[in-house]
Amino acid sequence: MPITAKDKREQLIRDGYCIFENVLQPEMVTKLNAMSEWTIAQEDPAHFDQHRAQGCLIPYWRFPHPAFAELIVYPRAMGVLAELGFDRPKVWSGFVISKPPHAPPLFWRQDGVLWDHPISYTDQPQQYFLMYYLVDTNRRNGCLRVVPGSHLKRHALHGVRRKADDGVNNASDLDHAAFQYAEGEVDVPVKAGDVVIGDSRLMHSAHANQCNQRRTVLTIWYWPGYDELPEDVKRLIVNHITEREDWCRWVDQTRHVTGALVPVYDGEAEQVPWNTNPGESLQ
């Protein structure tokens, strides 16, 4: 597959993220805003207290809505992945993450799960997020922040220890190290309809929403070069879906739309252990 977006691909591999502008058409942004509001209205109030730092974190299969399935296969997004050289991506999870007005910042995090596998210490494309903000974002309403290059290089944030009930997820301890300024961080403001593509291992966070309007992002995980991944990684990817009844039900119900993007693995390999903490090989 020829790579036509060479500069962006280089940035994605080197810095861990890149942005494509105007990917969603305005009608799609309107439709997704309506879908997000509907989804948020279905959720249990306790969820929002537990996830105050994110606002909410609602997977697409929890309250299935056709607009989310449409977004997963959105032709212009698939076109962008193809420009980056990925014409056979597979999809994984995806979430509505929405900060209400006057909401706290997100804590620093990375979302790699393959740290037990040597592939995590290479620049081979693995797991990418596609993030669609549904309003224009800036520092005041909670834009994304990232530490460029932190997917490949150890940063002080990798040493920040987390415990259960440490006041981070529910943002009750904003003095925690996971909320502080990070060396090298940059803001990533975007317009509604742009897409931010990023490496799951990238350290990222978001500013507080100090405005009166909700700030929603839809994030979808893909495995852009699935066919090239090792067998034990493919096994982990597929197991993660098949272990969840609600996710499998969603796959069955939306197969006519998303079928080509659902990962399949029929081999004999055992899955690599799920590990979200980088080992010493990350220097």
Name the residue nearer to ligand AKG (CB basis): 61 or 265. Answer: 61
Provide, rounded to whole angstroms, the least separation between the CB of residue 109 and ligand AKG: 6
What residue number has its CB nearest to ligand AKG? Answer: 206
- Token pair, residue 213, equals 């309007």
Whole-angstrom Cα Rg for the chain? 18
What does the alpha-carbon distance between residue 99 and residue 206 come to, in Å, rounded to a whole number?
Answer: 10
How far is CA 118 from each of CA 60, 151, 233, 272, rounded to the nearest angstrom? 30, 14, 11, 10
According to DSSP, the residues that pair with 146 across neighbouring strands are: 186, 204
Provide, rounded to whole angstroms, the least separation between the CB of residue 107 and ligand AKG: 9
Q: Which of 254, 221, 272 is nearest to 61 (CA)?
A: 254
Provide, rounded to whole angstroms, the least separation between the CB of residue 57 and ligand AKG: 6
* Rounded (5°) CA angle 202-142-10: 30
Q: In what order do the strands lie in the sheet with 90-99?
A: 17-20, 195-199, 128-133, 215-223, 90-99, 58-59
Provide, rounded to whole angstroms, the least separation between the CB of residue 39 and ligand AKG: 15
Provide, rounded to whole angstroms, the least separation between the CB of residue 148 and ligand AKG: 15
Name the residue nearer to ligand AKG (CB basis): 69 or 202. Answer: 202
Whether the CB-CB separation of 55 and 224 falls below 8 Å is answered with no
Name the residue nearer to ligand AKG (CB basis): 215 or 235. Answer: 215
Which parts of this chain interact with ligand AKG (CB under 6 A)?
54, 97, 106, 109, 144, 204, 206, 217, 219
Name the residue nearer to ligand AKG (CB basis): 82 or 218. Answer: 218
Name the residue nearer to ligand AKG (CB basis): 219 or 254. Answer: 219
Name the residue nearer to ligand AKG (CB basis): 97 or 113. Answer: 97
Provide, rounded to whole angstroms, the least separation between the CB of residue 55 and ligand AKG: 7
Structural element, H or E, at residue 31: helix 26-42
Name the residue nearer to ligand AKG (CB basis): 204 or 235. Answer: 204
Whether the CB-CB separation of 113 and 207 falls below 8 Å is answered with no
Provide, rounded to whole angstroms, the least separation between the CB of residue 12 and ligand AKG: 16
Q: Which of 178, 193, 274 is nearest to 235 (CA)?
A: 274
Whether the CB-CB separation of 117 and 234 falls below 8 Å is answered with no
